[in-house]
A and B are shown apart, each in its own frame.
Chain A
Amino acid sequence: DIVMTQSPLSLPVSPGESASISCRSSRSLLHSNGNTYLDWYLQKPGQSPQLLIYLVSNRASGVPDRFSGSGSGTDFTLKISRVEAEDVGVYYCMQALQTPPTFGPGTKVEIK
Chain B
Amino acid sequence: QVQLVQSAAEVKRPGASVKVSCEASGYTLTSHPIHWVRQAPGQGLEWMGWINTANGNTKYSEKLQGRVTFTRDTSANTAYMEVRSLRSEDTAVYYCARQFARGWSGWFDPWGQGTLITVSS
Q: Give A contacts to B, CB under 8 Å.
A: 31, 33, 35, 37, 39, 41, 48-51, 54-55, 60, 92, 94, 96-97, 99-106
User: What are 25 A-B residue pairs whose CB atoms fall within 8 Å in the complex?
Assistant: A31-B103, A31-B104, A33-B103, A35-B102, A37-B104, A48-B111, A48-B114, A50-B109, A50-B110, A51-B107, A51-B109, A51-B110, A54-B109, A55-B102, A92-B44, A92-B45, A94-B108, A97-B105, A100-B61, A101-B47, A102-B47, A103-B46, A104-B44, A106-B44, A106-B45
For window 72-121 of B, CB contacts with A under 8 Å fall at: 95, 97, 100, 102-114
Contact of A48 among B61, B62, B107, B113 (CB under 8 A): B113
Expressed in whole angstroms, the minimum distance between the Cβ of A40 and any Cβ of chain B is: 9
Pick the contact of B104: A35, A51, A103, A105 (CB < 8 A): A35
B111's contact among A31, A49, A54, A97, by CB below 8 Å, is which? A49
Q: Is the interface of A mostly helix, strand, loop or mixed?
A: loop
Contact residues on B (Cβ < 8 Å of other chain), bracket: 20 to 34
Q: Describe B's contact surface by its main secondary structure.
A: strand
Q: Are B104 and A41 in contact (CB under 8 A)?
A: no
Total residue contacts A-B, CB cutoff 8 A: 67
Is B13 positioned at the interface, with any CB of A under 8 Å from its CB? Answer: no
CA distance A80 to B95 in the complex (A): 26
Q: In the complex, what residues of A have CB within 8 A of residue B111's CB?
A: 48-50
Question: A37-B104, A54-B106 provided; 12 other pairs, C-beta below 8 A?
Answer: A33-B104, A37-B105, A50-B110, A54-B100, A54-B109, A55-B102, A94-B107, A94-B108, A101-B35, A102-B47, A103-B47, A106-B45
Residue contact A39 to B103, C-beta cutoff 8 Å? no
Could you tell me the distance between the alpha carbons of A41 and B100 in the complex, rounded to whole angstroms?
Answer: 14
Does B59 lie at the interface of the complex (its beta carbon under 8 Å from any beta carbon of A)? yes
Candidates A41, A97, A105; contact of B108 at CB < 8 Å: A41
* Distance of A3 from chain B, by nearest CB (Å): 13
Q: Are B61 and A96 in contact (CB under 8 A)?
A: no
In the bound complex, how far is the Cα of B61 from the Cα of A83, in angstroms? Answer: 36
